[in-house]
Copies of this chain bind each other. A is one copy, B any other.
Amino acid sequence: MTGYDLKRHFDSTVGHFWTADKAHIYRTLAQLVAEGCAEVETVAGAGAPDRQEHHITAAGRAALAAWLASEPERHVERDPFLARVFFGADLDDDGLRSLFTRRREAVLAQLARFERMRAEAEASDRGARLRLATLDNGIAHLRTELAWLDTVEEEVV
């Protein structure tokens, strides 16, 4: 893929568990090439600028395999919504209700996007099933978030 392709993939398919800035993508690609994990092939663009297509090398595959088998790095949690709930007592009733309402709307919108993607997806082989499973993970957590919002709004507001 090119950096541009990668950016689009990050924004669409894996965006719910991994985001990336394009400046970061291009710099990381350059680093991967410098490390011998990827190779670049310049392809003349058809009615568009030239594309710098990046291909994984044998060394890159080995590095990927090592990373896949390694212990997942501890995920740094940082949820600005929950942080607001934590200090929610400093909000008035309207502010608190608004906080929950906006959250619900954002979750519902995200859920609708995911379910549309889910409907269009195919679980042809194991790889596709696993990629689909990450989407199902997102959907399951969004539904949990909605159920939790229901309980909290009933109990607290």
Residues of A within 8 A of B (CB): 14-19, 61, 64-65, 67-69, 71-73, 75-91, 95, 98-99, 102-103, 125-127, 129-131, 133-134, 136-137, 140-141, 143-145, 147-148, 151-152, 155-156
- Distance in Å from the Cβ of A152 to the closest Cβ of chain B? 5
Establish whether residues A129 and B156, one from each chain, have CB atoms under 8 Å apart when the complex forms.
yes
Question: Top 7 nearest A-B pairs by Cβ distance?
Answer: A89-B127, A88-B130, A17-B82, A17-B79, A72-B80, A144-B144, A72-B81
- Distance in Å from the Cβ of A36 to the closest Cβ of chain B? 19
Establish whether residues B73 and A76, one from each chain, have CB atoms under 8 Å apart when the complex forms.
no
Q: Return the chain B residue nearest A87 by Cβ.
A: B68
Q: Known contacts A14-B86, A137-B82, A148-B140; decide if A77 and B155 are in contact (CB<8 Å).
A: no
Establish whether residues A81 and B75, one from each chain, have CB atoms under 8 Å apart when the complex forms.
yes
Copies in the complex: 2
Establish whether residues B91 and A68, one from each chain, have CB atoms under 8 Å apart when the complex forms.
yes
- Distance in Å from the Cβ of A84 to the closest Cβ of chain B? 5
Establish whether residues B64 and A130, one from each chain, have CB atoms under 8 Å apart when the complex forms.
no
Establish whether residues B79 and A91, one from each chain, have CB atoms under 8 Å apart when the complex forms.
no
Establish whether residues A78 and B17, one from each chain, have CB atoms under 8 Å apart when the complex forms.
yes
Pick the contact of A125 from B68, B87, B89, B145 — CB < 8 Å?
A: B89
What's the Cα separation between A95 and B71 when bound, in Å? Answer: 11
